[in-house]
Structure 1
């Protein structure tokens, strides 16, 4: 907290217990601000705390830091809560995304239910939901619900651009993208290569909307990427473009076979489509609308 009037500025940290770390932070601020303050009035550094060990109080005073005792019954937010929120760095992380998908379905009324349905700890679910509320993505009324889906999609496009996972591409001499995807699925299954079609390919099949007929998009497990690409003629120019991606998480354990094509899960497909930004926005919105029924 900073309190400032015409003649004085107070820089205050409020904490449940006075510690050496608290004093250290104030000293760092004091050093930094001492070199940047333009006026001649140095700010006064204050720590307001409920629990004040006498030895640490003496250290604070020797560092010219003022100590104020806060009434013991005062409600001071625990350090663990904001630190939990801070550690939810990305909405697109695997555990956070599972929670987002539970909220998208809209059948969870409490953090405990979200925790159980997403198979994450209560603490992680609580921190993730609080982080999403702080970002304006989730609203809390009688239950938690996604409040701003466009903001969610924009956040994913910024956090996890799908094309950063692009590895290489080849051309398959086929005239039909569905046939090409079926052929690749059969080839991978016969050679024990894990694969999963995603992005426009999976999104088009799941939604029956906006299918790409000139390209297919497929994850191949990292250890088989080069083996898979070597199956194609590098000089082939006419046909269906096979865009190959290297997964950044487990995308294969919950694949689905639809129309003899192995697709990544609807949740993974939605994450990847959102990561394409505006180029995939129409299909992404269609998948959001149909997700609960898939």
Structure 2
């Protein structure tokens, strides 16, 4: 039995499916920058690959994991921004993934996004990274700089470095990267956030909260607020590290909304089984608990509001941004109130 020949990489397979010569390459950074400048366009996020062939530009997204509605929304936003002005080359959106759920596949087709299903045997595409730099805007040091800038609104790079105890070199590098993405504006030695939504999109793509989710279960309470208070009391008594985050902490910080159908909290992996034994229920009800395992220290700078232990404002904003479009209203409310928190 003969098996079909599999190209060495996912990128080669995509080019073949698009009918693009195998020796074609992505637009080089310099050429791409010149193209952006000439066309007066700034994309919220760089696609994984930008290929130009016979007058057509392809924005290609390579997904290693599951395709989400946020993925499709950002792809569509990139195209909308590109097409705002007439005279630009035609752009086509291409989504390459090994698997895609039926709902997302139907929506992609409705949005005129071409889907290329990668063979399972092919080498996996790389995870999406924040483009044009190896600096992760969601890393601890970078996020401290960014949230300090949100709090100060208008300050110098030197002051950002001093107040967050981060080296001047690292602070300067983060600001330069954000400036390249038109997220930060520099003027007269001072910097300020110029595009909050672009910043939040970058976080959502780089650090999706779904990647930190360890468990989801129903808990034996009738309301989320009471559940968070009772769980706080019990875990504090047992001296178990924990902190409520995202929808729970965001609702308490902003008073924008407190979701009564879900609680979200961080627990160390070793404490999850005990949590399930003490609070979980096999009966479906109105309150779900979404449990995340931390990728950094989220327990040191917690606060307590309304008898609920919650993550710091900085961590809460990072986690809300990581929920993407589904939490955008609450995330923006958090940004608006951030300077006073």
Same-fold call, TM > 0.5?
yes
- Is 2:170 the counterpart of 1:136? no
- Residue number in structure 2 paired with 1:231: 278
Gaps of 5+ in 1: 1-34, 38-84
Shift, 1:123, TM fit: 1.1
- Is 2:165 the counterpart of 1:123? no
CA distance in 2, matches of 1:233, 1:113: 47
1:1-294 mapped onto 2 (5 Å cutoff): 86-88=133-135, 90-106=136-152, 109-142=155-188, 143-294=190-341
8 Å contact 1:197–1:264 — kept in the other structure?
Answer: yes
Query: Residue deviations 1:90-147, cap 9 Å, x none?
Result: 1111110000001111355222111011121111111111111112111101210001
CA distance in 1, matches of 2:23, 2:236: 64
CA distance in 2, matches of 1:252, 1:293: 21
8 Å contact 1:256–1:264 — kept in the other structure?
Answer: yes
Shift, 1:221, TM fit: 2.1
Query: Residue deviations 1:7-47, cap 9 Å, x none?
Result: xxxxxxxxxxxxxxxxxxxxxxxxxxxx969xxxxxxxxxx
Shift, 1:237, TM fit: 2.1
8 Å contact 2:219–2:281 — kept in the other structure?
Answer: no
CA distance in 2, matches of 1:181, 1:280: 19
- Residue number in structure 2 paired with 1:74: none
CA distance in 2, matches of 1:159, 1:243: 20
Shift, 1:169, TM fit: 2.0
Shift, 1:231, TM fit: 2.0
Question: Which is greater in Rg?
Answer: 1
Query: Residue deviations 1:186-208, cap 9 Å, x none?
Result: 11111111111111111111101
Q: How many residues align?
A: 212
Gaps of 5+ in 2: 1-21, 25-131
Shift, 1:87, TM fit: 3.8
CA distance in 2, matches of 1:36, 1:173: 59
Shift, 1:263, TM fit: 0.3
CA distance in 1, matches of 2:295, 2:334: 22
8 Å contact 1:173–1:239 — kept in the other structure?
Answer: no
Shift, 1:232, TM fit: 3.0
Query: Residue deviations 1:123-175, cap 9 Å, x none?
Result: 11111111111121111012100011110011111111112111112222222
Shift, 1:230, TM fit: 2.6
8 Å contact 1:108–1:114 — kept in the other structure?
Answer: no
Which moved further from structure 2: 107-116 or 216-225? Answer: 107-116
Shift, 1:209, TM fit: 0.8
1:286 partner SS: helix
8 Å contact 1:95–1:120 — kept in the other structure?
Answer: yes
